[in-house]
Amino acid sequence: MKSIISSALIVAAAVMALCSVDPAAAAARVAPHIVGGWKPIKDVSDPNIQELGGWAVSEHVKKANDGLRFGKVVSGEEQVVSGMNYKLVIEATNGEGKSGTYGAAVYEQEWTKTRQLLAFEPAN
């Protein structure tokens, strides 16, 4: 009987300890990104983000053949999925030399070296 009570007390103490853990703090230690939510890209000057913007423009040009030239990514958002979704705001110059702003949606999965241009259009 004593061992049953001791076991019950140990289980109760373990449950209380687990319940007292801050879920947000635990999630931050486990994964730096939370799946599903969109968040602003902290550093759009990051070389990977700029390269991704240039890639998006070149993929667009392959389809549209409009001579658009990449300038830079000026802002954007990212979403953790099985990989990353990006919504990028890109400055680019058209074939006539006029600068404009464009929106691009890109999916990237680094470990499989997969990239897809989901959307590309002039920004309003």
Q: Return the pLDDT at 11.
A: 37
Q: Does residue 115 have a pLDDT over 50?
A: yes
Q: Please give the mean pLDDT across all residues of the chain.
A: 81
Q: Does residue 13 have a pLDDT over 50?
A: no
Length of the chain: 124
pLDDT digit string (tens) for 14-35? 334 333 444 343 334 334 555 6
Q: Return the pLDDT at 36.
A: 76
CB 119 within 8 A of CB 76: no
Per-residue pLDDT band at 124 (split at 50, 70, 90): confident
pTM of the model: 0.71
Residue 55: count of CB within 10 angstroms of its CB: 16
